């Protein structure tokens, strides 16, 4: 067994994801369920193992219990390794100082000793809030070929959206000469995906300097990258093409789920060469009863369907009663939708009970308002939850 790793991944999973509101009351954003049987963090973790990166540090801070439990020893992702594997890295008490993670760069800085245990040549920094499939190995090859100090993955975004992103302006050979954070008048459409490969010595050096700088907000985008650019370091942009979606808001989470549906979905989960791994629960196969109607949907183990399910994604053990309707919605685990209830344009969290004949969300065939029901909420018989509401307490109507 080698006593070093070529590349170690550091996955930033400490964010609250406050724009997901009720869905992240008790769990960190990377632990939010996605795509009927996954959680958001399954995507970067599966990308790692599919890219032959078997050493991953997961930096947690906000509400880590569910996430810790979910990742466990990493076995579902084949990341239970004697040397390497997945490691949860929470903030810890130090001899001289103790601190929460004060920004993306500081979170990595506090765990530099973890990285150094594996003596890697490269470190890849990932975030736990995007849905995408990416071969980090190709990006690493690009980084090596360019002899870069840092390589930043970029994706081409529509010009009218470019001002929402960090934009990398590059020369013809992809070398970055300018970085603009959320520019009003973007010069290009190369948006940073928040994925960085560092040559490790450069990473250590810049993290050390950044920590000494009292004025720094300890952030890769705001501090480290501009500093490296100013120092004349070699920064390259690695162009990625393919599906990539930030699922940081209710609307984008709903949209990204819907992108999995259809004859030729925008994001394909049925990819034998790029499996998405997840922790599985021991439930029997789904049962579709007589009288049920299922169309353009993704459904997983333990579900019991007697009603109508159209354009929707159902996580494990969801029950849909007779005459109930679930349309254009995303339902998380163990939720029960009783007879005659209707759920449209909604995201329903885990362990919710929607009683008979109640209505959640719009009654129209289309809507631009997504309704959210938080975990363990009960919606009373015949109640009507208005479109666009975010429900965190039991509701009798």
Partner 1 sequence: MATLGLIFSNIHDKEIFEVTQNRTIASAPIGGRYRLIDFTLSNMVNNNITNIGVVTKYNYQSLMDHIGSGKEWDLARKNGGLVILPPYGVSSDLYNSRLEALKSILSFIRYAKAEYVVLADCYQVCNIDFKPIFKQHFETKADITCVYRETDINIDDYSPVVMMEVDENKTVVKMDIQKSFVGHANVSTDTWIIKKDLLQSLVTQAIERNQHSFNRDILKENLGNLKICGYRFDGYFGNISSLQSYYKVNMDLLNNCIRNELFYQPGRAIYTRVRDSAPTKYGDYANIKDSLIADGCIIDGTVENSVLFRGVRISQGAVVKNSILMQNTIISEGISVNRVITDKFVSITHTKSIAGKNGELIYIKKDGVL
Chain residues binding partner 1 by CB under 8 A are 35-37, 75-76, 261, 263, 269-270, 275-278, 280, 282-292, 294-301, 309, 313-314
Nearer Cβ to partner 1 (44/186): 44
Q: How far is CA 59 from the centre of its chain?
A: 14
Nearer Cβ to partner 1 (204/274): 274
Please state, in angstroms and as integers, the Cα–Cα distance from residue 248 to each residue in 17, 58, 286, 313, following that order. 6, 18, 30, 18
Q: Whole-number minimum distance, CB 193 to partner 1, in Å?
A: 24
| H/E element, 202 | helix 200-212
Cβ atoms < 10 Å from Cβ of 393:
9
CB contact set of 111 (below 8 Å; sequence gap of 6+)? 10, 57, 59, 89
Q: Whole-number minimum distance, CB 284 to partner 1, in Å?
A: 4
Distance CA 329, CA 349 (A): 11
> In the beta sheet, which residues pair with residue 308?
293, 325
Nearer Cβ to partner 1 (149/349): 349
Nearer Cβ to partner 1 (67/309): 309
Q: What would the two tokens of residue 38 be? A: 């996954």
Q: Whole-number minimum distance, CB 304 to partner 1, in Å?
A: 8
Q: Whole-number minimum distance, CB 270 to partner 1, in Å?
A: 5
- Select from 191, 179, 9, 6 the least CA-distant residue to 85: 9
Nearer Cβ to partner 1 (191/299): 299
| H/E element, 237 | strand 235-240
Q: Whole-number minimum distance, CB 277 to partner 1, in Å?
A: 5
Q: Whole-number minimum distance, CB 52 to partner 1, in Å?
A: 17
Nearer Cβ to partner 1 (25/75): 75
């Amino acid at each position: 067994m080698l006593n070093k790793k070529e590349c170690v991944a550091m996955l930033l999973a400490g964010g609250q994801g406050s724009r997901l509101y009720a869905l992240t009351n008790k769990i960190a954003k990377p632990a939010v369920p996605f795509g009927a049987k996954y959680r958001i963090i399954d995507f970067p973790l599966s990308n790692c193992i599919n890219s032959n990166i078997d050493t991953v540090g997961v930096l947690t801070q906000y509400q880590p219990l569910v996430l810790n439990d979910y990742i466990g020893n990493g076995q579902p992702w084949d990341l239970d390794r004697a040397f390497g594997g997945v490691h949860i890295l929470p903030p810890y008490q130090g001899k001289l100082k103790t601190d929460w993670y004060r920004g993306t760069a500081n979170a990595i800085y506090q765990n530099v000793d973890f990285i150094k245990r594996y003596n890697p040549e490269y470190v890849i920094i990932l975030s736990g809030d995007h849905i995408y499939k990416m071969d980090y190995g190709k990006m690493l090859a690009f980084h090596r070929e360019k002899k870069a100090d840092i390589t930043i993955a970029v994706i081409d975004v529509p010009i009218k959206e470019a001002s929402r992103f960090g934009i990398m302006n590059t020369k013809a050979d992809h070398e970055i000469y300018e970085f603009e954070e959320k520019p009003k008048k973007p010069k290009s459409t190369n948006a940073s995906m928040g994925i960085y490969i560092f040559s490790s010595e450069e990473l250590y050096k810049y993290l050390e300097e950044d920590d000494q700088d009292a004025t720094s907000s300890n952030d890769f985008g705001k501090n480290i990258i501009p500093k490296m650019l100013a120092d004349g370091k070699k920064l390259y942009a690695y162009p990625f093409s393919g599906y990539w979606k930030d699922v940081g808001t209710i609307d984008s989470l709903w949209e990204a789920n819907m992108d999995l549906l259809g004859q030729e979905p925008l994001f394909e989960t049925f990819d034998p060469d790029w499996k998405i791994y997840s922790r599985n629960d021991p439930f029997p196969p789904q049962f579709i009863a007589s009288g049920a109607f299922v169309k353009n949907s993704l459904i997983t183990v333990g579900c019991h369907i007697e009603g109508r399910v159209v354009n929707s994604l159902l996580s494990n053990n969801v029950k849909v009663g007779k005459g109930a309707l679930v349309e254009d919605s995303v339902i998380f685990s163990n939720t029960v939708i009783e007879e005659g209830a209707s759920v449209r344009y909604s995201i329903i969290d885990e362990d919710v009970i929607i009683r008979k004949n109640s209505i959640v969300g719009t009654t129209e065939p289309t809507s631009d308002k997504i309704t959210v029901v938080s975990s363990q909420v009960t919606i009373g018989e015949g109640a009507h939850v208005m479109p666009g509401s975010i429900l965190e307490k039991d509701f009798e109507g």
